[in-house]
Amino acid sequence: MASTKHVYNMNHRRRGFAYIINNVKFDELTDRLGSDVDEERLKERFSALHFTVQSFRNQTRTQMVDVLDKASKDDHSDSDCFVCVILSHGEEDKIYGTDGPVEVTRLLDPFKGHCCGSLAGKPKLFFIQACRGRESDNGVDVLGVKGDAEDEDVDEVAIYRIPREADFLVAYSTVYGYVAWRDKGEGSWFIQALCKVLEEHGTTLDLMTMMTRVNHTVAHDYSAGCKTGIKKQMPCITSMLTKDVFFRPK
């Protein structure tokens, strides 16, 4: 068990909001069939973790910006954290609204510590299901992978200043430059894996451990057969978290 100074305070009155932006139909792009399955699974999982879930469907780029700008201006003082899941088309550094792309940074910026004081020092968790390019991953055969981890202690003081960029986690469905796969009947690989891990370990493991298991699940359990061969996918987690995140029951 990690010491309390290395764990975010999740004992506020509310867990917090979980926003789901689900873009299925677009002005000039193909419909994202299977995304409604993702949305329903996500609602179930985050509700089970005591989040207040709100869904926003088929948002233009302006509406996406407005939804998250407004969320950042809400009072989150009695909340543990904030979650946003975006299901859409995408490219390298952009996510699509129904009418065109918007920069990922434009959607995250309102939640930085100097802009959203009631979430300063609290986890801001973004999960993005979207392509990040046009490359596809053919995979590679390996015998095994072995790694180690180590902990590092830091001092704690009563009053402290944190970086504006602190306490974010952005989990992308795929690495930069690559496509993200989605099944029309079962939903996207990444969201399937995320919901499976949250269902099995959501109240016991810390978030980064769970996301590593999501990575493992997508990397090892999913593949697509195409004319050019078997295709794989590797999620990508960008973490600026400074403590462990546990969703223990309230």
DSSP H/E element including 64: helix 61-73
In a 3-state reduction of DSSP, which class is residue 187? strand
109 close to 168: Cβ distance less than 8 angstroms: no
Q: Which of 123, 155, 102 is nearest to 239 (CA)?
A: 123
Q: Indicate the DSSP class of residue 236.
A: E
Q: At what angle do helices 189-201 and 35-48 cross, to 10 degrees?
A: 20
- Classify residue 212 as exposed, middle or buried by CB count within 10 Å of its CB (0-12, 13-18, 19+): middle
- Classify residue 109 as exposed, middle or buried by CB count within 10 Å of its CB (0-12, 13-18, 19+): middle
Q: Indicate the DSSP class of residue 34.
A: T
- Classify residue 145 as exposed, middle or buried by CB count within 10 Å of its CB (0-12, 13-18, 19+): exposed
- Return the active site residues: 89, 131
